[in-house]
Amino acid sequence: MYKIVRKEVLNPAVKLLEVEAPYVARKAEPGQFIILRISEEGERIPLTIADYDREKGTVTIIFQEVGKTTSMLGMLEEGDCILDFAGPLGKASHLEGVRKAVVIGGGLGTAIAYPQAKKLHELGAEVDVITGFRNSGLILLSKELKQVSSRLFITTDDGSNGNKGFVTDVLKKLLEEGNRYDLAIAIGPLIMMKMVSLLTKEYGIKTVVSMNPVMIDGTGMCGGCRVTVGGKVKFACVDGPDFDGHEVDFDEAIRRQAMYRAQEKRSMEEHVCRLGGVRNG
């Protein structure tokens, strides 16, 4: 059992949990993920490590409540326990030797982009950060990102923070103005990572994306997380989750993500029904 020592509500749909997991904390690096399960009947879901504290022995996860498991996870409070918490899984990001980087986070992806920006900053790189959200109420980690970036650009789809547009609009402008980077890191919805990769390819900027496909074990055993990269089949759990954005077959990844959409919807609806029952009961 893994105890929750801190909980924060970052926006109405996004929560942060700091979890006691000393073994994981000892080895965790940016780019890696954990797999958790919260009940005997629960599924195993992968979540990227948002932060870790080796001394305290804690690992922080940030997640959006999109389905039954993440909703139930969001209902846990400080002092509650997570049943299973395995990691750190996947390969750590290679950030050494980068002088100037642009880190792009879309929505919840911002939470995963943060440890990468932080690590780059600690390694002495100059870091521009671009984040995008649907509206200003959903903006995440702006304070934290400000501390680790040279420049922070925050866009919203509806312009409610006074800066309307997509992350790619900002990136395009920066590139057109002559900014050049050794590395671009894009983390967010598949379509966003695809658009960023298409743009950076024109400028020949090495781009790393973080894939988050459906998976069960996270150790290379099921192969459910297959991603085609440069024409070769890779397992995101052990070969990734970071891949070269210019090589990833995003259209296939988008399709594969829809594999259990009907079941995910059904689980969520039944979950909400049961909750309603309890509340009204």
Partner 1 sequence: MADMSLEKVKMPEQDPETRIRNFNEVALGYTEEMAVKESHRCLNCKTRPCVAGCPVNVQIPEFIRLVSEGDFERAYEKIKETNNLPAICGRVCPQESQCEKFCVRGKKGEPVGIGRLERFVADWYMANGDMDIQPVPKNGKKVAVIGSGPAGLTCAADLAKKGYEVTIFEAFHVPGGVLMYGIPEFRLPKVLVQKEIDTVRKLGVNIMTNMVIGKVLSLEDLRNEGYEAIFIGSGAGLPNFMGIPGENLNGVYSANEFLTRVNLMKAYKYPEYDTPVSVAESVAVVGGGNVAMDAARCAKRLGAKNVYIVYRRSEAEMPARLEEVHHAKEEGIIFKLLTNPVRIVGTDDGWVRAMECVEMELGEPDASGRRKPVPKPGSEHLLDVGTVIIAIGQSPNPLIKSTTPGLETQSWGGIITEEETGATSLDGVYAGGDAVTGAATVILAMGAGKRAAAAIDEYLGSK
Residue 164 DSSP code: B
Residue 266 binds partner 1 (CB under 8 A):
yes
Verify binding: residue 69, partner 1, rule CB under 8 A: yes
Quick check: 9 binds partner 1 (CB under 8 A)?
no
Closest CA to 39 of 73, 65, 67: 73
Q: Judged by CB under 8 A, does residue 68 bind partner 1?
A: yes
- Residue 47: beta bridge partners? 34
- Please list every residue from 79 through 98 that binds partner 1, using CB under 8 A: 83-89
- Considering only the stretches 24-32, 104-112, 119-127, 240-248, report the one whose residues sit in contact with partner 1 under the rule CB under 8 A: 24-32
Span of 73-81, 94-102, 138-146, 217-225 interacting with partner 1 by CB under 8 A: 217-225
Tell me the residue ranges of DSSP E strands in the chain.
2-11, 14-20, 33-37, 45-53, 58-64, 81-82, 84-89, 100-106, 126-133, 151-156, 183-187, 207-210, 226-229, 232-235, 242-244
How many angstroms separate the Cα of 123 from the Cα of each of 14, 22, 62, 151? Answer: 29, 24, 24, 17
Told to check if 17 binds partner 1 by CB under 8 A, we report no
Distances (CA, A) of 124 to 94, 98, 99, 131: 14, 8, 7, 21
CB of 168 to partner 1, least distance (A): 25
- Closest CB 118 distance from partner 1, rounded Å: 22
Which position has the token pair 């880190």?
Answer: 103
Shorter beta-carbon distance to partner 1: residue 171 or 248: 248
Complex with partner 1: residue 105 or 213, whichever CB lies closer: 213
* 224 part of the interface to partner 1, by CB under 8 A: yes
Of the candidates 3, 7, 43, 246, which one interacts with partner 1 according to CB under 8 A?
43
Q: How far is the CB of 208 from partner 1 (least distance, A)?
A: 20
Please tell me whether residue 219 binds partner 1 under the rule CB under 8 A. yes
Q: What's the angle, vertex CA 260, arms to CA 256 and CA 261, rounded to 5?
A: 100
**Angstrom distance (rounded) from CA 136 to CA 154:** 9
Total chain residues near partner 1 (CB under 8 A): 42
Interacting residue ranges for partner 1, rule: CB under 8 A: 23-24, 26-27, 37, 41-44, 68-69, 83-89, 216-224, 226, 228, 233, 238, 252, 255-256, 258-260, 263-264, 266-267, 270
